[in-house]
Amino acid sequence: MHLGPYAGFIVAAYSAAVVVIGALVGWIIADHRIQTRTLDDLESRGMTRRSSSPREAA
């Protein structure tokens, strides 16, 4: 693969895509862990929602 005289611009564009998409994926995974852990912690302290048993309803 030969990228020619503007290889720097092409590499920068693809690197930016990797960083931005990687940041989105990382943020969503981290956020899911935080919410799940917090929910587990609250439920372990006996707090459940009115509508159902723990973790079964919105």
Partner 1 sequence: MPLIDLANPSRFLAFIERLLPWLVVATAFALMVGVYQALLVAPDDYQQGATVKIMFIHVPSAWLAMFCWGLMSVAALGTLVWRHPLADVAAKAAAPLGTAFTFLCLLTGSLWGRPMWGTYWVWDGRLTSVLVLFLMYLGVLAMWRTVEDPSRAARAAAILSLVGAVNLPIIKFSVDWWATLHQPASVFRIGGPTIHPTILVPLLAMGIAFVLLFVTLHLAAMRNEILRRRVRTLRLRFAQAGA
Binding site for partner 1 (CB under 8 A): 1-7, 9-10, 12-14, 16-17, 20-21, 23-25, 27-28, 31-32, 35-36, 38-39, 42-43, 45, 47-49, 52, 56-58
Query: Minimum Å distance from CB 41 to partner 1?
Result: 9
Query: Minimum Å distance from CB 35 to partner 1?
Result: 4
- Give Dmax over CA atoms of the chain in angstroms: 64
- Do 3 and 11 contact (CB within 8 A), yes or no? yes
Task: Give the C-alpha separation, 43 to 27, whole Å.
Answer: 24
